[in-house]
């Protein structure tokens, strides 16, 4: 079962009649404010966000996991799920692998399998936050006290080598970037030396960077806490930027929306990193308390809009081409349904951000007129952009209403029957 384009087109037939009508309305509303709907539709249609290979399985909390059944049993089945996802959204055209959760023996075959289903390979993710015989020198060393920041030379060496391995694997898959998220930090004050830890991480990143192909980028992903609860080496965007600057011009920062303390002004961080040419990638999710990995746009959609607006500013009116990925944990929803909802939320945010009259906003800012600036923002934010997004999907051959199409398809029931009710995907 693949939710083939012909089937999707069939689903679109009835919804399409209403869409034409709704679209006419929003086109005229935008036109009245001098905005071109066609440009927004084209931009939304071009946008794509990677699905991580581990997100097609059920997520877990510290307290348990409730598998949904029919989870992919191997990487090829994960690609099947992501292809099905992309067939309804038209906006998940790549997958991001986490190694060794996914460590294909036949990368060329996997690449081909993905290509046949319209799925390419986005940034590679290395994993030095868990002990695994294949990443810790056959089990001879442990990451218990860190990987690149470890005082133990053997652990540092194993961590560097794992990253080199992930780059080599990525080259075979057609990826162009490596994302390094480190669990390294401290659980207790005094446990380690802040500066020495930073220096060791910078040194490890330099060794990894030296192995990068010319057309690759390296992303450092910051996070303030967890699993280390006193300090994290790459704790914030400032540290991430220091690491990137120390590493080289193709080292950039990756912003995971959940990796900020409550109330942090993430849109300002996005602006700063873009300003210095070091914004490399994004992990989208939403949160109420910490790194909750909830559905993108489900808790603070206005903040998401403001963040995407800074991306549009960075791209001077267009969405810049960065490594966009969804990084969520689907504990109680069907993972594919959550990914559909997250992708849709992002497409809405892109459309809303493109509805901002940037010239009018600039004028209001120049005139020190915050009320007028607020009107410009609110007009965009409160525009019902759903018909624009639906039209972008229709043009991509995807579903006008992807969640409804997926539900109607019976995909979950079909894979449960095929793969088994106890099939579990690899991941945390
Ligand atoms: C981390 C971080 C990384 C992700 C792991 C699983 O919190 O968000 O990007 O790879 O979780
Ligand atoms: Mn992340
Ligand atoms: Mn995270």
Residues in CB range of 125: below 8 A, 6 or more apart: 52, 96, 97, 98, 99, 166, 178, 179, 181
Q: Average pLDDT, whole number, for the chain?
A: 96
Pocket lining: 221 vs ligand 1, CB cutoff 6 Å: yes
- How do residues 262-300 score in pLDDT, each as one tens digit? 999 999 999 999 999 999 999 999 999 999 999 999 999
- How do residues 236-254 score in pLDDT, each as one tens digit? 999 999 999 999 999 999 9
Distance 124 CA to ligand 1 centre (A): 12
Between CA 345 and CA 48 the distance in angstroms is: 12
Nearest bound ligand to the CA of residue 183: 1
Closest listed residue to residue 149, CA positions, set 253, 235, 248: 235
Structure tokens at 381: 């934010």
Distance 132 CA to ligand 2 centre (A): 20
The H-or-E segment that residue 230 falls in is none
pLDDT at 105 over 90: yes
* Nearest atom, ligand 1, residue 256 CA: 8
**Strand bridging mode 94-96 / 231-232:** unpaired
Structure tokens at 356: 């901002």
Pocket lining: 327 vs ligand 1, CB cutoff 6 Å: yes
- How do residues 174-202 score in pLDDT, each as one tens digit? 999 999 999 999 999 999 999 999 999 99
Q: What is the pLDDT of residue 426?
A: 81
Between CA 173 and CA 351 the distance in angstroms is: 31
> Ligand 1, from 180, 256, 326: best to mutate by most atoms within 8 Å of Cβ?
256
> Ligand 1, from 181, 233, 235, 330: best to mutate by most atoms within 8 Å of Cβ?
181
- Decide: helix, strand or coil at residue 255: strand
Once rounded to an integer, what is the mean pLDDT over residues 300-317?
Answer: 98
User: What percent of the chain has pLDDT above 70?
Assistant: 100
Distance 180 CA to ligand 1 centre (A): 9
Distance 231 CA to ligand 3 centre (A): 15
Distance 68 CA to ligand 3 centre (A): 22
Between CA 265 and CA 364 the distance in angstroms is: 22
- Find out whether 236 and 201 touch, Cβ atoms under 8 Å: no
- Find out whether 245 and 206 touch, Cβ atoms under 8 Å: no
Structure tokens at 332: 């109680």
Once rounded to an integer, what is the mean pLDDT over residues 13-35?
Answer: 93
- How do residues 110-127 score in pLDDT, each as one tens digit? 999 999 999 999 999 999
């Amino acid at each position: 079962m693949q939710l083939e384009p012909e089937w999707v087109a069939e689903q679109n037939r009835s919804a399409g009649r209403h869409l034409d009508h709704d679209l006419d309305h929003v086109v005229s509303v935008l036109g009245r404010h001098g905005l071109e709907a066609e440009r927004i539709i084209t931009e939304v249609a071009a946008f794509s966000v990677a699905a991580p290979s581990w997100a097609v399985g059920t997520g877990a909390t510290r307290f348990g996991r409730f598998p949904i059944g029919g989870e992919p049993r191997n990487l090829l089945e994960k690609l099947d799920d992501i292809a099905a996802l992309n067939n309804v959204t038209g906006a998940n055209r790549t997958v991001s692998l986490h190694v060794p959760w996914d460590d294909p023996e036949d990368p060329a075959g996997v690449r081909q399998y993905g290509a046949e289903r319209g799925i390419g390979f986005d940034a590679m993710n290395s994993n030095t936050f868990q002990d695994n015989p294949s990443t810790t020198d056959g089990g001879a060393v442990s990451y218990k006290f860190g990987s690149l920041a470890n005082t133990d030379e053997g652990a540092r060496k194993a961590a560097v080598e794992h990253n080199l391995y992930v780059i080599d694997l990525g080259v075979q898959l057609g990826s162009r970037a490596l994302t390094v998220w480190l669990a390294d930090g401290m659980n207790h004050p005094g446990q380690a030396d802040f500066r020495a830890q930073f220096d060791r991480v910078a040194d490890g990143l330099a060794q990894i960077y030296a192995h990068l192909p010319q057309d690759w980028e390296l992303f450092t992903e910051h996070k303030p806490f967890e699993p280390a609860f006193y300090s994290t080496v790459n704790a914030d965007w400032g540290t991430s930027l220091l690491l990137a600057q120390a590493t080289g011009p193709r080292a950039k920062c990756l912003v995971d929306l959940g990796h900020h303390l409550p109330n942090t002004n993430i849109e300002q961080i996005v602006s700063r990193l873009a300003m210095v040419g070091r914004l490399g990638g994004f992990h989208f999710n939403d949160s109420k308390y910490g790194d909750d990995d909830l559905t993108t746009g489900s808790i603070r959609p206005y903040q998401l809009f403001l963040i995407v607006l800074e991306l549009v500013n960075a791209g001077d009116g267009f969405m810049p081409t960065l490594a966009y990925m969804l990084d969520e944990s689907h504990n109680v929803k069907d993972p594919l349904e959550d990914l559909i909802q997250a992708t849709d939320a992002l497409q809405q945010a892109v459309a809303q951000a493109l509805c901002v009259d940037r010239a009018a906003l600039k004028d209001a800012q120049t005139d020190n007129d915050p009320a007028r600036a607020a009107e410009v923002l609110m007009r965009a934010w409160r525009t019902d952009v759903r018909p624009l997004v639906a039209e972008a999907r229709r043009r991509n051959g995807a579903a006008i209403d992807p969640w409804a199409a997926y539900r109607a398809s019976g995909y979950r029931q079909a894979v449960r029957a095929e793969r088994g009710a106890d099939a579990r995907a690899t991941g945390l």
